[in-house]
A = this chain, B = another copy of it.
Amino acid sequence: MEDLDSRYERIIRLRSDPSTFYALLGMRVEKLEEGRSCMALPVEKKHLNAGGVVHGGALASLADASIAAALATLMDLQRESMITVEMKINYLAPVREGLVRAEGEVIQKGKSIAVGEACLYDAGGRMVAKATATFMIRQRA
C-alpha cells in the first residue's frame, strides 16, 4: 500500500486536473489529514444564480468533493474505489462573494459503506451550509 504522502499527493493531483469538474468550478484541496480535508472555492461571478447568490449546486459540489477527499485519505486508492450513494445539504446562509471553505470529515468507514459530513464557511467564518454524504466502497477488480 502506498505511503501517506504519496496518497495525499495522488488525491490532490486527481483534483487538480484542469479538464475536470473541480477545475470548472475552481475548487481546490487546501489541506488533508487522516479522515479530514479542507477544500476551498473562491466565489466568482460564474457561481452565482440570477439573484446574485452562489447557486446551491456549487456549494453541494464543494461539500461532496470535500467529504470524498476526506474519505480518500483513509482508502487504498489502488485497490478500492468509492461512489457517492447519496448526499444531503442544508443551506444556512446565502453567499455572495469571497472564499468558501469546506471542512470535510469521515464519521464512519466500514468495509463497504462510509459516511462523512462537511461544514462550509464563508470568508467571515460563518457556517453557510452543512452536508452529509454516504459512499459505497468497492474493491477494484
**A81 vs B112: C-alpha distance when bound (angstroms):** 15
Please classify the interface of chain A as helix (H, G, I), strand (E, B), loop, or mixed, using the class held by over half of its residues. Answer: mixed
Asked if A31 is an interface residue, CB under 8 A from chain B, the answer is: no
A64-B55, A132-B132 known; A91 vs B86 contact (CB < 8 Å)? yes
Are A89 and B87 closer than 8 Å at their CB atoms? yes
Q: How many copies of this protein are present in the complex?
A: 4
Asked if A24 is an interface residue, CB under 8 A from chain B, the answer is: yes
Contacting A21 at CB < 8 Å: which of B23, B58, B108, B113? B58
Residues of chain A whose beta carbon lies under 8 Å from any beta carbon of chain B? 14-15, 17, 19-25, 45-51, 53-58, 60-62, 64-65, 81, 83-94, 107-108, 112-113, 115, 117, 127, 130, 132, 134, 136
